[in-house]
Amino acid sequence: MAREYPPLLTAVIICVLMTVLAGAYALLANEGAPPPGPPPAGTPGTPVTTGAPVQVTSRTFSITVTPASTTTRPGDTVRFTLTVHPEGGFSAPVKIKISATALGGVYRENRDLGTVSVPYPPLTYEVTAPDLPPFISTATVDAVVTATGGGTVRTEQVQLVIRR
């Protein structure tokens, strides 16, 4: 016998999956491209040891999901955009995972969304808020998007509040 889930839970899962898929798509654009290595010694433009301090730019990234929090009614459509922001020449693949909870922790979902690569285009996705179960006037879906790449881990909190 197939197990049935409440519509709110289904909506929460869909929201989380859409967020993760958008992040994964952005990261997969640069799959397999290795970071640039140092030039051979004596190559024009190669720094020479002079004793002067050299400022090193850190290769890292950040992520944003907009809106980070929104309130909607059942049946309304919400548009989210996930963006990976490379900094200091960062070009490593980024692995995206999502973890969501709803209904006071009764529901928990963890998903691996895959890996995305440069040029990390913004990903836009739409989610339709599900109907709420009887006697429930408000439900909140909390999700954490985790991006890992090049030795860096970044997280972004996302919240969807559904009200009758």
Q: Is pLDDT above 80 for 147? A: yes
- Which residues fall within 8 angstroms of residue 96, CB to CB, at 6 or more apart? 20, 23, 24, 27, 112, 113, 114, 115, 116, 145, 146, 147
Q: What are phi and psi of 95, to 5 degrees?
A: -90, 135
| Confidence category of residue 3, pLDDT binned at 50, 70, 90 | low
User: What digits encode the pLDDT tens for the residues 127-141?
Assistant: 777 777 788 899 898
Whole-number Å distance between alpha carbons of 14 and 41: 52
Q: Which residues pair with 153 in a beta bridge?
A: 148
Q: Which residue segments constitute the domains of the chain, with CATH numbers given?
A: 7-31+59-163 (2.60.40.2030)
User: What digits encode the pLDDT tens for the residues 33-85?
Assistant: 555 566 566 555 555 566 666 566 688 999 998 899 999 998 898 887 778 89
Please check whether residue 82 is in contact with residue 146, taking contact to mean a CB–CB distance below 8 angstroms.
no
**Four-point Cα dihedral 39, 43, 44, 48, nearest 10:** 80
User: What digits encode the pLDDT tens for the residues 71-102?
Assistant: 999 889 888 777 889 999 999 988 888 787 77
